[in-house]
């Protein structure tokens, strides 16, 4: 088999990585309406809510771009390229296996990392809306005397006029503090009071613990969500005639010609995971292997920012 044939065969084996049962991470699906468009199609947000005149989109690394809603009725949102870190499958791994297990593991690893990057971009865009640069201020500040439940109540109060059916995306330290709240305050309670699940259930708040890190270009790692922070999202708008969640996530399907060349179904491919070139040296020890990378084109937009808020719990836990 010629080298070029091997390269194409590897690409075909890696193929279409999206799990039809879980097209996006469960955490992202909790807060976002998920959609897909064909190659070359565009995404528009319509001016249906006079109380939210700006749509905020997450750029490639979570930076915020403000999009003023058009008075003509709709605003076009821009797709951004989201790419994984370059990974390698060594020739030794391929030679030692009697099937395509090493490629399958690498494909799954890259797909998981891109799922986490999608969620991190949305979280970073929300956390950037703290009012410091003149944009919307979604931050709820902890004050002296606040405890975990008090701060969660403040978050609910900020959003409740606009939406309900809440999900609290919470860092690990916040979730631990929620779970330990009753025990930590048992001596001071004058009446039965359980933050979890009683008070959270009463206020229709679902807690989702956000874990994981993503790699950076420098070789370090960043948390998907800071362990001391939490984001509250109201998933059901109270504005008459408005449905859906306040975050929009859209993937654009891959160019059909590119998909066909890589052995992927041209009408379904949303994320391309492929090898780069042929066999190459992948380490300082002159180990040979194939470079593998994932790329997709997405829109990640905060379409109703008043349905969302966040808080830093570091000072009270």
Give the model confidence (pLDDT) of 14-37 as tens digits: 766 676 667 889 999 999 999 999
* CA distance linking residue 128 with residue 62, whole number of Å: 9
Number of C-beta neighbours around residue 267 at 10 A? 11
* Phi, psi at 28, each rounded to 5°: -65, -40
8, HSE (Cβ side, Cα atoms, 13 Å): 11
Pairing of strands 54-58, 288-302: antiparallel
- The class level of CATH for 3-312 reads alpha beta
- Tokens standing for 26? 């469960």
> How many helices (H) and strands (E) would you count in the chain?
8, 16
What are the pLDDT digits (tens) for 131-185?
887 889 999 999 998 999 999 999 999 999 999 999 999 999 999 999 888 765 6
- Nearest Cα to 181, choosing from 167, 168, 169, 199? 199
- Tokens standing for 215? 């790699």
Which pLDDT value is given to residue 9?
A: 63
Q: Could you identify the residue written with the tokens 């870190």? A: 85
* Phi, psi at 81, each rounded to 5°: -85, 130
What are the pLDDT digits (tens) for 232-272?
999 999 887 777 899 999 999 988 888 777 767 777 788 88
Length of the chain: 317
Number of C-beta neighbours around residue 266 at 10 A? 16
Segment 49-57 mean pLDDT: 69
């Amino acid at each position: 088999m010629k080298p070029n044939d091997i390269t194409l065969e590897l690409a075909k084996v890696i193929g279409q990585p999206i799990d039809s049962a879980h097209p996006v991470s469960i955490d992202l699906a909790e807060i976002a309406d998920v959609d897909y468009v064909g190659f070359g199609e565009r995404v528009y947000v319509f001016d249906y809510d006079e109380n939210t005149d700006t749509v905020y989109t997450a750029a490639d690394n979570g930076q915020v771009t403000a999009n003023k809603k058009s008075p003509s009725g709709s605003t076009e949102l821009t797709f951004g390229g989201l790419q994984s870190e370059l990974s390698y499958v060594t020739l030794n791994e391929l030679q030692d296996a009697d099937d395509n297990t090493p490629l399958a593991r690498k494909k799954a690893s890259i797909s998981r990392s891109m799922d986490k990057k999608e969620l991190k971009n949305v979280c970073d865009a929300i956390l950037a809306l703290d009012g410091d640069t003149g944009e919307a201020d979604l931050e709820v500040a902890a004050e002296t005397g606040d405890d975990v439940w008090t701060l969660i109540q403040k978050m609910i109060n900020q959003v409740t006029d606009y939406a309900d059916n809440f999900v609290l995306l919470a860092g690990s330290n916040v979730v631990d503090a929620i779970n330990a709240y009753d025990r930590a305050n048992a001596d001071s309670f004058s009446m039965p009071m359980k933050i979890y699940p009683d008070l959270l259930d009463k206020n229709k708040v679902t807690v989702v613990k956000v874990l994981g890190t993503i790699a950076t270009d420098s070789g370090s790692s960043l948390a998907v969500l800071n362990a001391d922070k939490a984001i509250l999202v109201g998933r059901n708008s109270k504005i008459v005639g408005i449905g859906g969640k306040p975050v929009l996530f859209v993937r654009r399907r891959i160019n059909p010609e590119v998909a066909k060349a890589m052995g992927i179904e041209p009408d379904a491919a949303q994320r391309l995971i492929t090898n780069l070139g042929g066999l190459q040296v992948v380490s300082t020890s002159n180990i040979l292997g194939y470079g593998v990378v994932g790329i997709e084109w997405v829109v990640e937009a905060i379409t109703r920012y008043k349905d969302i808020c966040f808080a830093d719990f570091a000072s009270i836990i």
